[in-house]
């Protein structure tokens, strides 16, 4: 084969490269790919939520911004093989769509709360099939005391965190920390029974079995949380995912309502804190 014929074959094999991409086009394509990946991630894997109330103090503070793992909980409790998924466990801190108060729906409407549209953050206490009873500032599961580390932390929605002190020593099997006001702890320690208006589910003298595929949840600030004791159980399909860590936090009280207060009053020591 002659040299000219060889060069002709090589020329025929070459693919046209086209005009070079402009810098603007490269930036645009990178932006589109990043946007698609972000939308996919926020739809199926991660979600950001903020905490507006003190029902989980001091585990989670008012003004914490959380990243939520939407992928960790297997659908209907059936993990897909080879995927890092599991069923929901007791002590998990979950984010879910508020199911609404079925017993007293007027409580929601009077405060402008629309069920299924607002996200709540609570801790899983009772699992499907278990019987839950909350009495005298303690939780009982199937008649057995749930080991929790109880801490004194007086309720105050106007502060970033509760001022706490030890009530009882931590035990090796304590699952997590929970906070009770000093007033209520003194009350039950004196031998009197705690009662509170609004409790409808799983309270003293009224233990309740958690329905199939539903969960009983409570806030860690036990005297400052409207949770399953008030409005009932959380269906599995309303659970968004597990709270992972704090990606931003700000002291809203220090900002005095300023629009830029969350930028000018950050809590840097909270950023990156794992939620457990």
Domains in the chain with CATH codes: 49-270 (2.10.109.10)
User: What pLDDT is stored for residue 85 in this prediction?
Assistant: 84
Hey, what are 79's tokens? 């993990």
What number is the average pLDDT over the span 98-123? 92
Task: Say what the pTM is.
Answer: 0.80
User: What pLDDT is stored for residue 146 in this prediction?
Assistant: 96
Task: Report which listed range, 19-33, 137-151, 165-179, is most confident.
Answer: 137-151
Report whether 88 contacts 171 (CB < 8 A): no
Bridge partners, 178 (sequence order): 150
58 prior amide bond cis, ω within 30: yes
Report whether 100 contacts 116 (CB < 8 A): yes
Residues 176 and 187: their CA atoms lie apart, in Å, by 23
224: closest CA among 122, 128, 124? 122
Candidate from 37-41, 108-112, 166-170, 188-192 with smallest mean pLDDT: 37-41
Hey, what are 205's tokens? 């003298």
């Amino acid at each position: 084969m002659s040299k000219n014929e060889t060069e002709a074959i090589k020329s025929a094999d070459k693919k046209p490269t086209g005009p070079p991409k402009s810098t603007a086009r490269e930036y645009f394509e990178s932006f589109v790919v990043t946007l698609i990946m972000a939308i996919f991630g926020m739809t199926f894997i991660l979600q950001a939520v903020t905490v507006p109330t003190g029902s989980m103090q001091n585990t989670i503070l008012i003004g914490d911004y959380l990243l939520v793992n939407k992928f960790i909980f297997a659908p209907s409790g059936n993990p897909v093989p080879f995927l890092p998924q599991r069923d929901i466990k007791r002590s998990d801190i979950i984010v879910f769509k508020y199911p609404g108060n079925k017993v007293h729906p007027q409580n929601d409407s009077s405060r402008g709360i629309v069920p299924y549209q607002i996200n709540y953050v609570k801790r899983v206490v009772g699992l499907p099939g278990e019987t839950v009873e909350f009495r005298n500032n303690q939780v009982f599961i199937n008649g057995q005391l749930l080991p929790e580390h109880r801490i004194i932390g007086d309720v105050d929605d106007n502060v970033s965190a509760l001022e706490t002190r030890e009530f009882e020593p931590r035990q090796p099997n304590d699952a997590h920390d929970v906070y009770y006001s000093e007033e209520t702890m003194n009350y039950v320690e004196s031998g009197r029974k705690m009662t509170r208006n609004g409790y409808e589910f799983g309270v003293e003298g009224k233990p309740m079995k958690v329905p199939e595929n539903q969960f009983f949840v409570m806030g860690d600030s036990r005297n400052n949380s409207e949770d399953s004791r008030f409005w009932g159980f959380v269906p599995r399909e309303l659970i968004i995912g597990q709270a992972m860590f704090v990606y931003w936090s700000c002291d809203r009280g220090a900002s005095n309502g300023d629009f830029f207060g969350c930028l000018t009053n950050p809590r840097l020591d909270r950023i990156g804190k794992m939620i457990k």
